């Protein structure tokens, strides 16, 4: 009986998997990054996906963060969060339109926006790398969690697992950008430890969970690992707090989303990352001329450059995004 049962089980499972099959990485990643931070925006994206596909997009990164109907930690949900039901509907709509959906959850940095503290540090101020009051004292506008805070990874992994399952994703974008506070003298866990070592430890913990245990692909923003010698970049798109040592301490199968918004003749971080054998996904924004330049430059940088990611940062609505020039004019330049 077992002789027949196991193949039958395998066949049934295969059928089950294929009916929920995710869209696998395309040859050329023509991406759009959107803030999908509330239920209404998820609904709007479902309606817009056919037009985005028509505009050339085959990958959409949705920045969700705490705007999801978490079951393990309902206390960490944003108000107006995306329901489980809508997340699955969005995943199905993406598949129908041949679009790979990659949810993003900002890890480590971006635990506040302006004076709004994100739910994790509201619920657990003891996880903050700095006293919460520090953000009123500085131009750097977002708080970090402490990568060595006991229990922080356990909670984050539970949130990531829920997001991956809810959006039926085969990849997660973990943020990791703009980490301005790390290895602070007044942090009891990190005092005296090099920021690059702390940063790499957080990346590696995420990788061990996402790639190692969950068998998903992992993406992150590259700005903390490309410094400090490329001083031509701004203090925002290149770390000044010496986290760049992390570049040689983290796995090469992470997709590096290398965002730069200013016009430059060249973008040296693209060949730097590609030369280290990371896959690089250059990400532009506005002005259009700079985005075109980043795109054109990146197209000359070899096969480790996987495509182009158009970030939007609310400068277009989701509905209008398919005709927004940085999407409409640049994505079609990236052929398969």
Under rule CB under 5 A, residue 190 binds Zn ion:
yes
Q: Are 223 and 236 in contact (CB under 8 A)?
A: yes
**Cβ(121)–Cβ(132) under 8 Å?**
yes
Q: Which is nearer to Zn ion, 187 or 250 (CB)?
A: 187
Least distance from Zn ion to the Cβ atom of residue 149, Å? 6
Cβ closest to Zn ion, residue 30 vs residue 148: 148
User: Quick check: 146 binds Zn ion (CB under 5 A)?
Assistant: yes
Do 311 and 296 form a contact (C-beta atoms < 8 A)? no
Nearer to Zn ion, 111 or 321 (CB): 111
Site membership for Zn ion, residue 49 (CB under 5 A):
no
Question: Please, which residue, 175 or 326, has the CB nearer to Zn ion?
Answer: 175
Residue 243 Cβ vs Zn ion, minimum distance, rounded to whole Å:
13
C-alpha dihedral sign at 127, 130, 134, 138: negative
Under the binding rule (CB under 5 A), the answer on residue 310 touching Zn ion is: no
**Of 61-69, 166-174, 188-196, 247-255, which part binds Zn ion (CB under 5 A)?**
188-196
For the segment 120-139, give every residue that binds Zn ion (CB under 5 A).
Answer: 129
Query: 276 near 215, Cβ under 8 Å?
Result: no
Closest to 69 (Cα-Cα) out of 170, 162, 168, 156: 162
CB of residue 189 vs Zn ion: minimum separation in angstroms? 4
As measured in angstroms, the least distance from the Cβ of 187 to Zn ion is 3
Closest separation in Å from C-beta 180 to Zn ion: 13
From the list 74-82, 148-156, 165-173, 279-287, the region that binds Zn ion by CB under 5 A is 148-156
Residues in the chain: 336
Question: For residue 199, how many other CB atoms are within 10 A of its CB?
Answer: 30
SS3 at position 250: coil
Contact with Zn ion (CB under 5 A) among 38, 78, 95, 189: 189
Token pair belonging to 70: 């978490």
Q: Give dist(CA 112, CA 140) in Å, integer.
A: 11
What string of DSSP letters covers 111-123?
SEETTEE-HHHHH
- CA 162, 168, 171, 174 torsion: positive or negative? negative
* CA–CA separation, 221 and 167 (whole Å): 20
To Zn ion, the closest distance from the beta carbon of 145 in angstroms equals: 8
Decide whether 148 or 224 has the Cβ nearer to Zn ion. 148
Q: Which is nearer to Zn ion, 108 or 163 (CB)?
A: 108
Closest CB to Zn ion among residues 74, 137: 137
Strands 100-107 and 255-259: unpaired
Binding positions for Zn ion, 158-187, rule CB under 5 A: 187
The CB-of-332 to Zn ion minimum distance in angstroms stands at: 45
Q: How many residues bind Zn ion (CB under 5 A)?
A: 6
Task: Give the rounded distance of the alpha carbon of 93 from its chain centre.
Answer: 20
Shortest Cβ 127–Zn ion spacing (Å):
9
Nearest approach, Cβ of residue 58 and Zn ion (Å):
39
Nearest 5°: phi and psi at 181? Answer: -115, 110
Nearer to Zn ion, 97 or 153 (CB): 153
**What are φ and ψ of residue 48, in 5° steps?**
-95, -15
> Does position 108 bind Zn ion by CB under 5 A?
no
Cα 277 from chain centre: 19
Q: Is the Cβ of residue 130 or residue 244 nearer to Zn ion in the bound state?
A: 130
Give the binding site for Zn ion (CB under 5 A): 129, 146, 148, 187, 189-190
């Amino acid at each position: 009986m077992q002789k027949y049962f196991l193949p039958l089980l395998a066949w049934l499972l295969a059928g089950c998997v294929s009916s929920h099959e995710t869209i696998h990485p395309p040859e050329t990643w023509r991406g759009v990054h959107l803030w999908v931070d509330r239920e209404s925006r998820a609904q709007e994206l479902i309606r817009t996906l056919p037009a985005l596909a028509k505009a050339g997009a085959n990958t959409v990164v949705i920045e969700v963060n705490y705007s999801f109907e978490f079951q393990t930690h309902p206390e960490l949900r944003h108000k107006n969060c995306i329901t489980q039901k809508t997340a699955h509907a969005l995943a199905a709509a993406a598949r129908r339109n041949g679009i790979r959906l990659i949810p993003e959850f900002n890890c480590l940095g971006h635990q506040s926006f302006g004076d709004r503290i994100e739910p994790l540090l509201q619920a657990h101020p003891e996880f903050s790398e700095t006293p919460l009051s520090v953000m009123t004292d500085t131009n750097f506008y977002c708080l970090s969690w402490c990568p060595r805070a006991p229990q922080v990874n356990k909670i984050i992994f539970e949130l990531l697992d829920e997001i991956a399952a809810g959006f039926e994703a085969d990849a997660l974008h973990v943020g990791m950008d703009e980490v301005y506070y790390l290895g602070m003298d007044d942090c009891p866990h990190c005092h005296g430890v090099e920021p690059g070592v702390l940063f790499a430890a957080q990346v590696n913990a995420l990788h061990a969970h996402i790639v190692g245990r969950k068998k998903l692909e992992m993406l992150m923003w590259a700005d903390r690992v490309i410094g400090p010698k490329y001083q031509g970049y701004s203090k925002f798109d290149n770390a000044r707090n010496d986290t760049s040592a992390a570049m040689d301490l983290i796995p090469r199968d992470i997709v590096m989303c290398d965002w730069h918004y200013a016009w430059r003749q060249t973008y040296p971080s693209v060949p730097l990352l590609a030369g280290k054998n990371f896959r690089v996904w250059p990400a532009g924004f506005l002005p259009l001329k700079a985005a075109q330049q980043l795109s054109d430059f990146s197209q000359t940088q070899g096969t480790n450059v996987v495509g182009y990611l158009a970030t939007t940062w609310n400068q277009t609505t989701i509905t209008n995004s398919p005709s927004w020039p940085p999407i409409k004019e640049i994505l079609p330049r990236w052929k398969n």
